[in-house]
Amino acid sequence: MDLGLAGRVYVLTGASRGLGRATAEQLVRDGADVVVSSRSAEAVERAARELCEVGPGTAVGVAADLADEDSAEVLLAAADDHYGRLDGVVVSVGGPPGATASAATDEQWRTAFDSVFLGAVRLARTALEHARAPLAVTLVLSTSVRAPLAGLAISNGLRPGLAMVAKTLADEHGPRGHRVNVLLPGRFETDRVTELEAGADDPGALRERMAGAVPLRRYGQPEEFGAVAAFVTSPMASYMTGSVVTVDGGSTRAL
C-alpha cells in the first residue's frame, strides 16, 4: 500500500531508538524526510545516518530535550531549514522512572511532568499553531492510558491526561484540517522494556509471565508498531482524528 508519504516531512521525538526509531524508519522507507530527535546528540546523529541508508527518504538528527522550553521551536525550525515544509509530528513520549504512587517523590513528579506531559503538549501545540498546511500530530503514549501498569505510577498518572489533551486538540484544530491521534503501545522488544525488566529479581521469569498475559503470547517487534504509526500519520488516514489506537497484541482488557 502506498501511504502517500513521498516528499512529506515529519518531526519525530524520542527517535534514536525504540518505537520512535521504528516509526522513523517506516516513514523513510516510504519516501518521507524526517527530523529525528533525542536528548543524546551522539545517538540521534547515528540514528540519522543509519536512516539515510534505509531510503529513499532522508533524515536529519537534532539533539533536543522536550523539557526545555525552546525545544519545540528548535525542532520545527530544523524541519523548515532543511526541508522547507512540515506535514506532521510524531511525539514519542519518554517513560518516567518506575515507582509506586506511595513512593514517588514530588521531584520525580515535577521532572516527569515537564518532560513527559508539558514537553509533549508544547510541541504539539506549537506545531499546530504555526502550521502553514494541515498537519498530522501523533502522540505515542502507553496502554497505561486505559489501565494502570504495576510499578509505573507516574506514567499511570500523566499519560491519560495527555490522551485527553490530544482529544481536545483534535476538536480545536479539526476545522483547519489538522489531525491529532494517540497510539497506545503495549509490550514491545525495546531497550526501555529491557531496562525495566533488568530491575526484577528474575528478569527471565518476568518476561515469561508478561508474554503469557498477551493473547498473542509474545512481545511485539518495533517494526510492527512503526507500520501502524506510519499509517495513522500518513495521508491514507485522512479521516482519522481524535482516535486512541491500542497496539498491544490484545493485552489490554478495557475497550
- pLDDT tens, per residue, the chain with 255 residues: 799 999 999 999 999 999 999 999 999 999 999 999 999 999 999 999 999 999 899 999 999 999 999 999 999 999 999 999 999 999 998 778 889 999 999 999 999 999 899 999 999 999 999 999 999 999 999 999 999 998 999 999 999 999 999 999 999 999 999 999 999 999 999 887 888 788 788 988 889 998 999 999 999 999 999 999 999 999 999 999 999 999 999 999 888
Say if 252 falls within a structural domain: no
Q: Domain tally for the chain? A: 1
How many Å is the Cα radius of gyration of the chain?
A: 17
Its domain, for residue 209, covers 9-247
SS3 state of residue 143: helix
Does residue 225 lie in a domain region? yes
Strands (E), 67-221: 88-92, 136-140, 179-185
pTM: 0.94
Q: Long-range contacts of range 98-102, CB-CB < 8 Å, 24 or more positions apart?
A: 98/151, 98/152, 98/196, 98/199, 99/151, 99/152, 99/153, 99/154, 100/151, 100/153, 101/153, 101/156, 101/157
**Which is it for the CA torsion 187, 192, 198, 204, positive or negative?**
positive
- The whole-number pLDDT of residue 193 equals 82
- Asked if residue 179 is part of any domain, the answer here is yes
Residue reference for cell 503470547:
217
Cβ–Cβ under 8 Å, residues 69 and 125: no
Distance CA(210)–CA(204), nearest Å, equals 10
DSSP summary character for residue 26: H
Q: In the structure grid, which three cell numbers stand for residue 177, read together? A: 484540517
Name every residue whose Cβ is closer than 8 Å to that of residue 12 and which is 6 or more positions away in sequence: 20, 23, 24, 27, 34, 35, 36, 37, 89, 90, 91, 92
Examine residue 4 and state whether it is found in any structural domain, yes or no: no
Q: Residue 245: count other Cβ atoms within 10 Å of its Cβ.
A: 16
In the prediction, which pLDDT does 96 show? 84
Residue 1: the pLDDT is 78
Taking the C-alpha atoms of residue 85 and residue 6, their distance in angstroms, rounded to an integer, is 13
Largest Cα–Cα distance of the chain, in whole Å?
Answer: 52
In a domain, 168, yes or no: yes
70: number of Cβ within 10 Å: 11
pLDDT for residue 222: 96
Q: What ranges in 59-105 are assigned the alpha helix state H? A: 71-83
* pLDDT score at 196: 76
Q: 172 lies in a domain? A: yes
Position 255 in a domain: no
Gap between the Cα atoms of 192 and 214, Å rounded: 18
Q: Where are the alpha helices (DSSP H) in 130-202?
A: 153-173, 191-198
Cα–Cα nearest to 10, from 46, 31, 35: 35
Residue 253 counted as domain residue:
no
CATH number of the domain where residue 193 is located = 3.40.50.720
